[in-house]
Structure 1
């Protein structure tokens, strides 16, 4: 498949699946998720992050939503944070509420890559409670993009689906809207894209055992 056809294919996936998370769910989703952020941070995220010598000076908070993760990253010493999201309403919210605080920038992307963010410019890519909903093809596209934008030696912390049921079906039919993906598939692609996969930890979400995975990986020198 040539590059233009692939872009068209991914754009169609984005149009179908990516725009559920803006103002229409500001209370039902974003505020509810923010209410659980401290618990997730203390029980899941920080114990993993603190294990590795991660440089937080130039961080991407990917699929940032309304910035609930970015605020926690600032608390643990993140320097400049670039908030990336496909939803214009989320980016507008972050631009209004976080950028004036200093140390934040916002970037509205196309839903399947990170252009024109510069290559090898970032030290850390972070994503939590977002990519679990992404189509497998979109996830694979972003793994390559994470490798592109990270400096050699930079880390990525990615929360993704480990749900292998309903291949080819709608993610909205799946438990907790988890899309089709697995830890082994993610690792296989990450290694081929130039990452050293340091850790994969599966865990339950909402009572569904091992439905999610956090992958920690380090961008190898080219």
Structure 2
């Protein structure tokens, strides 16, 4: 087992023996994410949910709400449920076994396997990535770029807590792990994804504790490469002008 997989498994085990999943099913808890006036819902409405992944699905509470808000002509063709805990996948199978659109997999905790390359239109992850180690977050970002179709988008709810590097995440407010809005944006850029929107949000009494990041795999991946080259050329032009002014001076 790799270090990132081991850390993910350790974090996932913290949620096996507590009562989180029972409480999380309450409508008051899910309304935080699915209320029409929430930032979560505003950004979610920018996803094409035709073939969508619910990462760290738990017992499937968000997929249940997804199927409520996207019905009729907007109904998903396929929903992939991924979770590192087999117990959660078993719970989802019991809950959704009647629905042929839903595929459920226990994954390794750092990528989207076995989902094929360029096969999904969207990914979302709510109330889980906030606890992930930074290297697991980066790994998922890189693999999201693999599974998203050109033009596909991902919406990640992640931590914006960067005040205690190296601390045990359970010692941080609301068990948030070390991550920030800017670190996430940097990782997404390096993975070839475009940042469409980032919104920091409060969680209970903690201000700007979390962040919602909406990213897109460009239709033409070369556009990002061109933008990077243009930034490099602009840097070199500025340096050349500066050197010329120093020589003249």
TM-score by length of 1: 0.90
Measured after TM superposition, the shift of residue 19 of structure 1 is 1.9
Query: Is 1:14 the equivalent of 2:8?
Result: yes
Alignment of 1:36-115 (within 5 A): 36-42=29-35, 43-50=38-45, 52=46, 54-77=47-70, 78-79=75-76, 80-115=78-113
Partner of 1:145: 143
Partner of 1:3: none
Measured after TM superposition, the shift of residue 113 of structure 1 is 1.5
Residue deviations 1:169-214, cap 9 Å, x none?
1101000000000000000110111111010000111210000000
**Separation in 2 of the partners of 1:218 and 1:57?**
15
SS of corresponding position for 1:10: helix
- C-alpha change, 1:15 and 1:47, in structure 2 (3 Å) is closer
**Separation in 2 of the partners of 1:66 and 1:161?**
22
Measured after TM superposition, the shift of residue 154 of structure 1 is 0.3
Residue 32 of structure 1 is aligned with which of 4, 23, 27?
23
Bigger Cα displacement from structure 2, 191-200 vs 95-104:
95-104
**Separation in 1 of the partners of 2:9 and 2:114?**
20
- C-alpha change, 1:9 and 1:39, in structure 2 (3 Å) is closer
Over alpha carbons, which structure has the higher Rg? 2
Matched positions, count: 211
**Separation in 1 of the partners of 2:93 and 2:145?**
26
SS of corresponding position for 1:214: strand
Residue deviations 1:73-110, cap 9 Å, x none?
11222411110000000000001111323321101001
Conserved in 1, the CA contact under 8 Å of 2:107 and 2:113?
yes
TM-score by length of 2: 0.81
RMSD: 1.4
Conserved in 2, the CA contact under 8 Å of 1:99 and 1:106?
no
Measured after TM superposition, the shift of residue 12 of structure 1 is 2.5
**Separation in 1 of the partners of 2:9 and 2:125?**
21
Measured after TM superposition, the shift of residue 116 of structure 1 is 2.5
Query: Is 1:134 the equivalent of 2:132?
Result: yes
**Separation in 2 of the partners of 1:160 and 1:139?**
8
**Separation in 2 of the partners of 1:172 and 1:102?**
38
**Separation in 2 of the partners of 1:216 and 1:167?**
25
Q: Gaps (5+ residues) in structure 2?
A: 222-249
**Separation in 2 of the partners of 1:99 and 1:55?**
24
Measured after TM superposition, the shift of residue 38 of structure 1 is 1.9
